[in-house]
Amino acid sequence: MSYMDHSATSPVNPEVLKEMLPYFTESFGNASTLYALGREARTAMENARKQVASLIGAQPNEIYFTSGGTESDNIAIKGTTSKLKNKGNHIITSDIEHPAVEETCKYLEKNGYQVTYLPVGEEGIVKVSDVEAAITPETILITVMHANNEIGTIQPIKEIGALAREKGIYFHTDAVQSVGKIPVNVEDMNVDLLSISAHKLYGPKGVGVLYIRRGVQIDPLFHGGGHERGMRPGTENIPGIVGLGKACQIAEENLEKNMEYVSSLRDRLIQGVLGKIEQSYLNGHPTKRLPNNANFRFSSIEGESLVLQLDAKGINASTGSACSSKKLEPSHVLMAIGLKEVDAHGSLRISLGTENTLQDIDYTIDAIDEVVERLRSMSPLWCATPPEDA
């Protein structure tokens, strides 16, 4: 099997699993209790907080543990808008956000907030000038993802953050896809809130982080026992938190080496597919993209059939976003970069990991070529008149 869907989820690193296991059994204490077993759990949790903070250039007391990226996005957006509702009711975001941001903004629209959805153009990049033009006296939050989960494009977060800070507007970024893959420093990026998910960087599912810059005031979504300084009440998931911390430590120690290795695999894959397969195209920016992401489209075939036939060859990849790949509608991200619906349905996302090899890449190039040829031989669109252009 060649697993090539790391943007959907990643396998738990064996070192991470080893670190977690004692907190399911002998060190199972509740971190809120005063006796030794509880103190042991709290110590482990605070150590993980330091590990996460170190990876993103934050202070430990700016790290709040959640159940994952979706919850972090919801707390950031709903918490900010609730706190600032007397100041304004306008939010700025982009047309290519993850559903955790997009759907939260749509929910707020139904509840009296105004949302501006910025276009991205064919390369999938938000223009800072568009952000500036969208700001009004009512703007209380800008939320733009760091790197897109489908096409891998990296946004000018530092510049958007500087603009937001100049205007006195809170700035949130969903960094679920970027943390652990490329350098992320909250100070350098000028962000006030940032979301992380453990299972995207070789940690466990069901745990994440919301970074909240010191001094930023937002309302909690839940109320209860006061855990996470009242921001996210509920007994902490100590095994998951420990795993997240260890995954962050490993990512920080190996970041440059992993970036170089994975980007070399990505480039070989892109060159091989585009060079070998007629009317194949790369979606998104050619260089301003995550080191592990390659998103292709192929004229006159359907992406789900491509994914299923690759699966039969032992290659795991996806079409569109894995979070919504069972939907029949075309990807809103691919539509936002200007693709026709038929082309958006012919997409393939391959997202690589450190365990992939050159042999995986070469096998995948050949497999895609074979499957595309087979599907086109059955495609009425291709057989009738091979298109000149996508």
* Residue (of 381, 333, 368) closest to 121 by Cα position: 333
Q: State the pLDDT at residue 4.
A: 97
Query: What percent of the chain shows pLDDT beyond 70?
Result: 96
Q: What is the mean pLDDT of the chain?
A: 94
Pairing of strands 193-197, 208-212: antiparallel
Angle between helices 358-377 and 303-312 (to 10 degrees): 130
C-beta separation of 251 from 15 below 8 A: no
Q: State the pLDDT at residue 387.
A: 53
pLDDT digits (tens, 9 = 90+) for 336-380: 999 998 888 889 999 999 999 999 999 999 999 999 999 999 887
Over range 198-227, report the average pLDDT. 95
Q: Is the predicted pLDDT of residue 389 greater than 70, yes or no?
A: no
Q: Is the predicted pLDDT of residue 320 greater than 90, yes or no?
A: no
- What positions carry a catalytic annotation? 323
Lowest mean pLDDT: which of 264-273, 274-283, 337-346? 337-346
Q: Token pair of 346, please?
A: 């012919």
Q: Which DSSP helix (H) or strand (E) runs through 293?
A: strand 293-298
Q: Is the predicted pLDDT of residue 36 greater than 50, yes or no?
A: yes
Over range 193-200, report the average pLDDT. 98
Over range 201-222, report the average pLDDT. 97
* Residue (of 198, 241, 194) closest to 218 by Cα position: 194
Q: Is the predicted pLDDT of residue 261 greater than 70, yes or no?
A: yes
Over range 4-12, report the average pLDDT. 97
Pairing of strands 315-316, 90-94: unpaired
The one-character DSSP state at 318 is: B
Q: Which comes out higher in pLDDT, residue 251 or 321? A: 251
Over range 41-57, report the average pLDDT. 97
Q: Is the predicted pLDDT of residue 324 greater than 60, yes or no?
A: no
Strand pairing partners for 117?
93
Q: Which comes out higher in pLDDT, residue 175 or 233? A: 175
Q: State the pLDDT at residue 69.
A: 97
Q: State the pLDDT at residue 225.
A: 84
Q: State the pLDDT at residue 390.
A: 45
Q: Is the predicted pLDDT of residue 326 greater than 60, yes or no?
A: no
Over range 14-34, report the average pLDDT. 94
Over range 15-19, report the average pLDDT. 98
